[in-house]
Amino acid sequence: MGAVLCCLSEPVDYDGEVNLFHFDLHRAVGKGAFGKVRVVEHKRSKKLYALKYIDKARCIKQKAVANVIQERRLLEEIDHPFVVNLRYAFQDDENCFFVLDLMLGGDLRFHLERKRHIKEEVVRFWIAELTSAVEYLHRQRIIHRDIKPDNILLDAMGHAHLTDFNVAIHYSERRMHSSVAGSMAYMAPEVVGRKGYSWSIDWWSLGVTAYELLFHKRPFDGRTAELMTNSILKDPIHFPKDASSRCSDAGISVVRGLLERNISHRLGCRQNGQGIEDIHRHPWFTSIDWDSLESKESQPPFVPDMKQANFDVSHELDEFLMVEKPLTHSKRKANADLDKLKPEMRQLEEQFTVYDFSRSKRMSYYPHNQPVGTQSESSDRTAVSQTNTLVPTATIAERSLAGSPVPPDSIAHMYIPPPMPPPPAHVSPSS
């Protein structure tokens, strides 16, 4: 009797272009605006990654195609120890896929809500690692625009990594940005005040994050967008009555320095300072060995408990209960006629290109990586509900407008992070 071969799957072509068939799908560990985040295992290398997938139809409906392509391009430019780096990118007929470094330690929002009180030494270590990531991004001429505990992930060892570049953009030394993007409670005064802004806004957002991690509350509050704006623009920075028992004077000094409304005096941005060196030399960071930290040789003071899930387990339940259509491997339709596709779908087909870190040299799209289309607000991305109650941690993205020219006198006083040195002729992929 002959062997039955009907149930055998076709062999995977690992030497061909990367696709979903190269991965085994495991549990869901997160949920984004347009899809889930799952643990996946590369079948040949056996390495685990995070798979972020975006439903094309939902993305088009929410007018977020430009954001997705922008994020795809920016992630190709980035490779840093404290960033959730892109390893592969590809698409099928229904979804766009980002395959990213796997972070099983949970996000800082999760740990903040679970622990309630986080020790100062732990917050200091995280902020030190994040300053390294932020300074790297600025040297790449990238503004993250949405730094908050939700977008900071821990790996299994306890190292902090910046993620979610959905509203990140390149900045120019010659023109200021004016569109409102990010999460309102973490927005700098120059964003909500619509005065024009650049990379310095990330340091403010890091300051709000540090305050919240230390004191389990945010420094600025308001039930509506108007009240929140007024608070960010005008309210003095108050610290809790028990602040001295939670944080040293040096730690409070760092938070005050980052939450400085005068940009030329803001920590990391001081016009007569040395940028990142002002942070490295601050007394709060005396215990930090920066070389050891940036090579990930420093021992994190907090290690996540890997015996339990460091994420909301309900993400898996959605698929189990068929609330959402489960992700499955599916072959692409052969020879799709791009001319017959709707404009947004064609844009995704042409511009969400394949990336494979084991083969591709990381490239920069700057200065050509200007917004690839209009970025519109959508019902899924607005922070103010119909009751006019603010959701302070919800990410918003306003239509991206042309940058405003920087006044000449502002340029003279602006600390410009030095550009990254040009990459070598061949960039070997990092593991």
Q: Which of 92, 146, 150, 202 is catalytic?
A: 146
Q: Identify the helix (H) or strand (E) that includes residue 404.
A: strand 404-405
Contact 125, 173 (CB under 8 A): no
Pairing of strands 175-176, 404-405: antiparallel
Name the one residue in this structure whose structure tokens are 């021992």.
Answer: 299
Q: Using CA atoms, how far apart are residues 84 and 145, in angstroms rounded to an integer?
A: 16
Helices (H), 195-329: 201-215, 225-234, 243-246, 249-258, 276-280, 290-294, 314-320
Q: Using CA atoms, how far apart are residues 223 and 47, in angstroms rounded to an integer?
A: 45
End-to-end CA distance of the chain: 47
Contact 232, 220 (CB under 8 A): yes
Q: 300: left (phi > 0), else alpha (psi -120 to 50), else beta?
A: beta
Active site residue 202: no
Strand partners, 177: 197
3-state secondary structure of 52: strand
Name the one residue in this structure whose structure tokens are 């993620």.
Answer: 163
3-state secondary structure of 282: coil
**DSSP string spanning 303-368?**
---TTS-SS-THHHHHHHTTSSPPP---PPPTT--GGGS-HHHHHHHHHS--EETTTPPP---TTT
Q: Which of 157, 155, 161 is nearest to 106 (CA)?
A: 155
Name the one residue in this structure whose structure tokens are 């920075």.
Answer: 237
Strand partners, 42: 23
52 in a known ligand binding site: yes
Q: Which of 18, 7, 26 is nearest to 44 (CA)?
A: 18
In 43-94, where do the E strands start and end? 48-55, 86-91
Name the one residue in this structure whose structure tokens are 């992700």.
Answer: 327
Residues assigned a catalytic role? 146
State the binding site for ATP.
52
State the binding site.
52
